[in-house]
Amino acid sequence: MMSSSPLAGAGDGDMESLPLAAASDYASVASTFDPLLSTSPPSPPAPAPAAFPLSRASSSFVDPPSYADVAAASSPRSASSSPATPRSARAAASSYSHIAVSDPETAAEPAATSLVSGSAPTYVSYLVTSAAAHPSARRHAVRRRFRDFVTLADRLADAFRGHFVPPRPDKNTVESQVMQRDEFVAQRRAALERYLCRLAEHPAIGPSDELRVFLQAEGRLPLPTSTDVASRMLDGAARLPRQLLGEDAVAPPQDVVQPAKGGRDLLRIFKELKQSVVTDWGGVKPPLVEEDKEFLEKKQKVQDWEQQLSSASQQAEALVKAQQDMGDTMGALGLAFVKLTKFETEEAMYDSQRIRAVDSKRIATAAVKASRTCRDLNTQTVKYLDTLHEHLGIMLSVHTAFSDRASALLTVQTLMSDLASLQSRIEKLEAASSKVFGGDRTRMRKVEELRETIRATEDAKCCALREYERIKENNKVELSRLDRERREDFLEMLKGYVTSQAAYAEKIVDGWETVAEETSGYGRRSDNMTS
Amino acid sequence: MISAERSQSQSPRSPAAAAAAGAPYLSISVTDPVKMGTGVQSYISYRVITKTNLPEFEGGEKIVIRRYSDFEWLHDRLAEKFKGIFIPPLPEKNAVEKFRFSKEFIELRRQALDLFVNRTASHPELKQSEDLRTFLQADEEKMDRARSYESGMFKKPGDFLQMFKDVQSKVSDVVLGKEKPVEESTPEYEKLKHYIFELENHLAEAQKQAYRLVKRHRELGQSLADFGKAIKLLGACEGDSLEKVFSEVGSKSEMLSIKLQREADNLLFNFEEPLKDYVRAVQSIKATMLDRANAFRQHFDLDQERKYKELNLEKLKFMNPEKFSESEVEFSELKAASEEATKRYEHIVSVMNDELARFQEQKTADIGLAFHEFAKGQAKLAKDIADAWRSVLPKLEACSTS
């Protein structure tokens, strides 16, 4: 709103340069948005990617950067311009020295069944470029669509139980309909890039095969897709009869390692559900409990922290909005005085009008400058306070890791009570059979079968126990990593916030003090009411 | 209590010093607003204190109780009797109910009323008004009587603001010549009319933004306070050394929130209100322009009538001698009225010229002061912000190295 109206006739270079300066400010911010503008372009075709970032940059000339754009600008690569911050140290230790998501392209669905005549369903694919962190690594470039990212996320969730796996960007099905297409795609692109960078920085996930395959395997993604829950349930329902009739009664040990709920083993789901009910409501002490007091304390602390974090995140949003509004209104005020100045200058019939025009011009200039500074500050504030929102996202992965632990424990408990009941059945059978003279062949055969089952179940229990311990260890390691990173991140956030606030304030003090000085003559004449 | 310097209605020397020096002084202050009555009937009463040694007044010090409609009465009397002069503006009559008795509103109104009375008493013509003396000295009963008597005579179309709204549209029509083709039009006066109308628009816009700016300060202050609290709570979760530094940051936030609220008040009284006052002053000029247009029409119409009658009279002299003497009397009455109307019009024109010069001078000073206060306030606020955050930075630095 400030940059569009030219000031004809005001005659002062000072005023006329203001709108142009505003444009160049935005240009410099715009160039940090898209990585393609700051890094050397990879092998894929250049013209198509170039069109995309430029169209976004030109829209920034008129509007201030949107929240999403600024959030993207705080991705590791652009943040690492300030040396030796904990964040940049983490980015430097990443398993990949370069990751970028770019070049969104629309393609038609392969097996297109158009529900609406005349429009084939389409999807967007992104170019994912990367280079591993060792010196001689070559650049890779693959095409991936959002669904592939979902697959990656699901595979990682399965493979890294107990770890704090960075949460993937939301599906946002509602927003994708409501938002402007370009804006939505831009937002998503930035979020996906950030997601991959966080994955690469994770000490366990960064070096993983799943990530490597995602980043490097050309063509279609060779990770098994996760089908939706409904079809899984159907699949499981097909196997249920066999399970009930005893043929599939024992799950193969390695399957036990997977959580029941995601799998096809309906029988196991039922059993574990029953076990958890017994544990929670039956008042029966389960065979194994969460004994680690340290963990329980930690869990409580995490929950308290999350509550405060959520509230702080909300307040930060409100603060950013208030700052934005302040900048906008100051700008509007400046503009009103610009117009008044022009008017008084043009229509001057008295000398005093010219004096007033000079005064109002001083105010206008100071106000417009303060407004721009305020908006620049807000960009910084958004960037720093984003730490709050990001850590809220991390809380999600913490919850997932804790529930991985809980479900692993439940599996162990279920198997243990299975064992217990099998054992008691054997005892009953043996007791009954001993009463029959010469032994009871049917019963003895049954006992043998049960002993077999017990052996298999013991194996499964050992697997489950190992898995549980593994997850516990992961939790512990991750919790201490989170503690450390949280302290680092929050200190950095506060430092950044405080520094930018101080810098902004210092910048505008001079402007206002000058105007106060220039108008101090009026201040001395305080009795302006008597003639 | 916010006291802008403008609210102090002091003559250059204190009354006591002036009295000692034997020089004439007149000092008026509108003070001590008190809510009277209950419910819908409630209103604010003010104490008006007059200290003077001028002979026209009844003694050294007089204190009377007045309410808004009394001020309105005075304003209307002045407008009626002193055509051509820009009557000092009153604050708006109506206010949204819930805002009506807020501390700020009451104080703003008190200041505006104080300004009104003092400007009137300082104006070389207006200060001689008998109505002013009545207003300053009459006891409440007499005041009530005067007021109700006048309101019968004046057919006021509702409140002040409404009247101005009518005036505005009327002025646009009449002054800008939409109603009738007859109107005075010199290039200079045209320019002036255009200037005044445009000026009001620009000022109104500036005042609107100034009011919004006040609100923004309050909003930012509130969100800073909330944010500070949240940061403190986060620190409490964290514990040990981090807790201290979080708490510092939170406290600074809360402290700055208070400063923002104070600056909001400062802006309201010393920047936004003067702008509003400026707008009101321009509206007062528009009212005078309406008077001028009416006076012009009267003068013009009577003048036309006189010329027409004069011609007829000549004819009548020869054609109908009996009717002639009757008509001659009528004619001389008409002539007198026409001359009267012309004199009135010309008086308004000359008075307006002086008033305009005065207005320009005065407004430059008033608005210059407002600008000064605005800049001063913003500079101080920014400095406080910078100081607060700079003071906390070393502690933050210390934490990250440990």
At A97 the three-state DSSP class reads strand
Rounded Cα–Cα distance for residues B302 and B290 (Å): 18
Do the beta carbons of residue B202 and residue A359 sit within 8 Å?
no
What pLDDT does residue A182 have? 81
- Give pLDDT tens digits for A435-486: 777 667 888 888 888 888 889 889 988 998 999 999 999 999 999 999 999 9
A509–B371 C-beta distance less than 8 A: no
A301–B249 C-beta distance less than 8 A: no
- In order along its 402 residues, chain B shows pLDDT tens digits of 333 434 444 444 444 554 556 678 888 999 999 888 887 778 889 999 999 888 888 778 889 999 999 999 999 999 999 999 999 999 988 766 656 678 888 899 999 999 999 999 999 999 999 999 999 988 888 888 877 776 555 444 444 455 455 555 556 665 665 555 566 778 888 888 999 999 999 999 999 999 999 999 999 999 999 999 999 999 998 877 788 999 999 999 999 999 999 999 999 999 999 999 999 999 999 999 999 988 998 888 888 888 888 888 887 777 777 777 777 888 888 889 899 999 999 999 999 999 999 999 899 999 999 999 999 999 999 999 999 999 999 988 887 665
Give the gap in angstroms from C-alpha B369 to the nearest C-alpha of chain A: 5
**What chain B residue is nearest to A314 in terms of C-alpha separation?**
B227
Question: Which of A320, A378, A529 to mutate to probe the B interface, most B CBs <10 Å?
Answer: A529
Query: Which of B118, B209, B245 is closest, CB to CB, to A333?
Result: B209
- For the segment A131-160, the average pLDDT, to the nearest whole number, is 88
- For the segment A146-168, the average pLDDT, to the nearest whole number, is 90
Locus of tokens 């020869």 = B318
Would you place residue A63 in the very low, low, confident or very high pLDDT band (cuts 50, 70, 90)? very low
Query: Which of B6, B212, B366 is closest, CB to CB, to A329?
Result: B212
Residue A64 gets which letter from DSSP?
P
**What chain B residue is nearest to A349 in terms of C-alpha separation?**
B192
Write down how long chain A is: 531
The residues in B 340-369 lying below 8 A from A, measured between CB atoms, are: 356-357, 360-369
Contacts of B204 (CB under 8 A, 6+ apart): B279
B382–A505 C-beta distance less than 8 A: yes
B224–A311 C-beta distance less than 8 A: no
Do the beta carbons of residue A404 and residue A261 sit within 8 Å?
no
**What chain A residue is nearest to B206 in terms of C-alpha separation?**
A336
B198–A530 C-beta distance less than 8 A: no
What pLDDT does residue A248 have? 47
For residue B292, what are its two tokens? 């001028």
Q: Is the pLDDT of residue A270 over 90?
A: no
Would you place residue A104 in the very low, low, confident or very high pLDDT band (cuts 50, 70, 90)? confident
Query: Which of A326, A366, A512 is closest, CB to CB, to B220?
Result: A326
Q: Is B64 on the interface with A (CB under 8 A)?
A: no
A508–B233 C-beta distance less than 8 A: no
More confident residue, A530 or A177: A177
Do the beta carbons of residue A403 and residue A53 sit within 8 Å?
no
Question: Which of B6, B111, B216, B247 to mutate to probe the A interface, most A CBs <10 Å?
Answer: B216
Give the gap in angstroms from C-alpha B54 to the nearest C-alpha of chain A: 16
Give the gap in angstroms from C-alpha A509 to the nearest C-alpha of chain B: 5
Q: Is B306 on the interface with A (CB under 8 A)?
A: no
- Give pLDDT tens digits for B139-179: 888 888 877 776 555 444 444 455 455 555 556 665 665 55
- Give pLDDT tens digits for A9-62: 333 444 434 443 333 333 333 333 333 333 333 333 333 333 333 333 333 333
B233–A312 C-beta distance less than 8 A: yes
Do the beta carbons of residue B98 and residue B139 sit within 8 Å?
no
Q: Is B375 on the interface with A (CB under 8 A)?
A: yes
- For the segment A502-527, the average pLDDT, to the nearest whole number, is 85
Query: Which of A322, A353, A506 is closest, CB to CB, to B219?
Result: A322
What pLDDT does residue A253 have? 60
Rounded Cα–Cα distance for residues A201 and A7 (Å): 51
Q: Is B220 on the interface with A (CB under 8 A)?
A: yes
pTM score, whole prediction: 0.76
Q: Is B201 on the interface with A (CB under 8 A)?
A: no
Q: Which residue type is seen at A426?
A: I
Q: Give chain A positions within 8 Å (CB) of B360.
A: 350, 352-353
Q: Give chain B positions within 8 Å (CB) of A349.
A: 191-192, 195
Question: Which of B229, B232, B237 to mutate to probe the A interface, most A CBs <10 Å?
Answer: B237
Rounded Cα–Cα distance for residues A103 and A129 (Å): 10
- Give pLDDT tens digits for A126-135: 999 998 888 8
Would you place residue A69 in the very low, low, confident or very high pLDDT band (cuts 50, 70, 90)? very low
What pLDDT does residue B368 have? 93
B389–A498 C-beta distance less than 8 A: yes
A505–B385 C-beta distance less than 8 A: yes
More confident residue, A214 or B145: A214
Question: Which of A328, A333, A349 to mutate to probe the B interface, most B CBs <10 Å?
Answer: A333
Q: Is the pLDDT of residue A531 over 50?
A: no
Contacts of B307 (CB under 8 A, 6+ apart): none
What pLDDT does residue A398 have? 93
Q: Give chain B positions within 8 Å (CB) of A353.
A: 360, 364
Would you place residue A232 in the very low, low, confident or very high pLDDT band (cuts 50, 70, 90)? very low
* Beta-sheet pairing, B61-67 with B26-36: unpaired
Angle between helices B68-81 and B103-122 (to 10 degrees): 30
What pLDDT does residue B217 have? 97
What pLDDT does residue A528 have? 42
Query: Which of B9, B195, B230 is closest, CB to CB, to A311?
Result: B230
Q: Which residue type is seen at B23?
A: A
Beta strands in B93-199 (DSSP E): none
Of A188-192, A368-372, B98-102, B326-330, where does the model show the most confidence?
A368-372
Locus of tokens 């004994």 = A291
Looking at chain A, the whole-number percentage of residues with pLDDT higher than 70 is 68
Query: Which of B119, B216, B231 is closest, CB to CB, to A325?
Result: B216
